[in-house]
Structure formats: C-alpha cells, structure tokens
Amino acid sequence: MGKKQRKCGGRPCARWGRRMNILEPMILLLVAQEPAHGYGMVERLADVFGITEIHPQTIYRALQDMETAEWITANWDMESVQGPPKKVYQITEAGTGALAAWSIELEGLRQMLDTFVETYNQFHSQEQNGNMDGTNPTPSRSKNTHQTNTDTERNIMKIAISASGPQIESPVDLSFGRCPYYLLVDTDNNTFEAQPNSAAAGQSGVGIKVAQNLIQSGAKAILASKIGPNAYNVINAAGVPVYNAAGMTAAQAVEAFKNGTLQSIDSANNNDAAPGTIGAGNQHRHGQR
C-alpha cells in the first residue's frame, strides 16, 4: 500500500513542491470573521491582506470549491435593496476545522521561509567576504523549526492523554473534546502534568480547540479512546499520530505506548471501543506500520 496522504479539512494538504493555493485560507478566514458575499471579498482581501489585483471570478471559483468541500454554506440575501439577491457565505464546523489545519500548515511554511531567508543571508554574507571555498559548516536552522535542537538532543517524547481525572492512574476518558483533564506525559523522565480541559463546556468546535491546544503544548503523540473528524483533521495536519488507549488507565496507556503495543488511529473514530479491541477507523499497531 502507498503512503497515506495527509488531509487538511478533508482535502489533501498543500505540498511544498508545488505552489500553495494561499487564496483559499485567506477567504475562509474572512468568511469566519463575518458572513459575506463574493464581490465584497475583493475589497476585504485588499484591506486585510493587501491583495489588490485579483479577478472576482477567481474569488467565486474558490468559494464554489469550498462550498463543494462543505467548508462554507451559501444562502440568498433576499433583503438586498440594490440589484438582484446575492449569495451570502458562512463558515461551517468542517470549515472551522479546515481553517485550523490551514493555520498549522501555513505556520510550517512560515518557519520554512524563515529558515530559507536565514540560510540565504549567511550564504550571501560569506560570498561578500570572498569565503566560498566550501569549508564553511552548514548554516544552523532557524529556532522556529517544528522541533528544537534541545528536543532532538534529549530525544524527549511528550504525549497527551485524554483522562477522566488528574492522576496518572485515572482512566482514559471516553470523550476526546469533552474529557475533564489532559495529561501531558514526558516519557523521557516519566513525569506528567495534568491540565483541566477549559474547552469542555464549549457549545461547538470543542475538539478543534483541544487539538490546537495540545499541539501548541508540544504533544508529539495523542492517546485517546475516540476522536471526531474535525479534531482528527487538525491533529493529522500537524503530523501528530493518534493511538487507541480505550479501556486503559493513563499509566497503562503510557506503558503500552513505550512497548509499541498500541493501535494507531488513522481516521476519525467516533465509536466507543471496548478494552482490547480496535474501534472504528483504519488502525495499525504502534511501531509496526
């Protein structure tokens, strides 16, 4: 089987080997800020992002693609007093997940560009000084890379666990977005930190918020019983694996992770999994992919 393709909001993520369609996340962000019709996007793109030369048809085509992907919905504004009714676009829950995935993807691009500029400046400085004999060491990468030098040297693996309580012996919770606590475990020195789930009482988009928080906390793997599609898309876009720890305590899940016996979850899993079984979604044994 070929390598599984990462998804951003249900569609393939951008690849750095080809030009990224930066227009889609820009428009999606503007629609998330407030509902809008297509032609109004021309002015807003200029005001917010400084894009002044773009054909309206390009914007309408992007809106149509995002509507097909169910990132946005369109309703006719029948109260318009000037001209015929216009389509007004609003973001959907799936679109919110896609926007979060885009944010992570674009952050990776920003870091890559920072590294390029730093590397070029060092190269240009060497060229100006006439030091082009090939003996210079390779320029160090920017500090804004996904993994810091300190993490690489120490080989630290921080994992996040959705838990029913703040203790390492607490059960892995049946819910990902609305579990009471998250345990951030450092498998290098066997310490953990319990964080209350501040998003648990939210009305919508809870899984997305939690996924973003855990990624920002530096989690390199997530252990859970189940996970919804929007949260999974955000986590998958960040390249963070998810493992099935249903029916275990957090301590048991950590040991199973270290031993390579957990099953990885390769798609959204909304079904409660019984202890020792594999829930919905494509799964592989940890360490045996």
At 68, list the tokens: 């097909």
**CA pair distance 266, 281, nearest whole angstrom:** 6
For β-strands 283-285 and 86-91, DSSP reports them as: unpaired
Chain region(s) in the chain for CATH 3.30.420.130: 151-270
pLDDT at 277: 34
List of residues 6+ apart from 78 with CB closer than 8 A: 85
| pTM, 2 dp | 0.51
Positive/negative CA dihedral, 27, 33, 35, 37: negative
At 91, list the tokens: 């973001």
Chain region(s) in the chain for CATH 1.10.10.10: 19-129
At 31, list the tokens: 């629609």
Q: Which CATH number fits domain 19-129: 1.10.10.10, 3.40.190.10, 3.40.640.10, 3.40.50.880?
A: 1.10.10.10
pLDDT in tens, the chain (289 residues): 444 545 554 555 544 333 447 888 999 999 999 988 887 888 888 888 888 778 888 888 889 888 998 899 998 877 765 667 788 999 998 888 888 888 887 877 788 888 888 888 888 777 777 654 555 544 444 444 333 333 333 344 799 999 999 999 999 999 998 899 999 999 888 899 999 998 877 767 788 888 888 988 889 999 999 888 888 888 888 888 999 999 999 999 999 998 889 988 887 765 433 333 333 344 545 554 4
pLDDT at 270: 57
pLDDT at 243: 93
Residue 161: phi and psi, rounded to 5, are: -125, 130
Nearest Cα residue to 238 out of 49, 13, 27: 13
- CATH 3.90.1150.170 given to domain 151-270: no
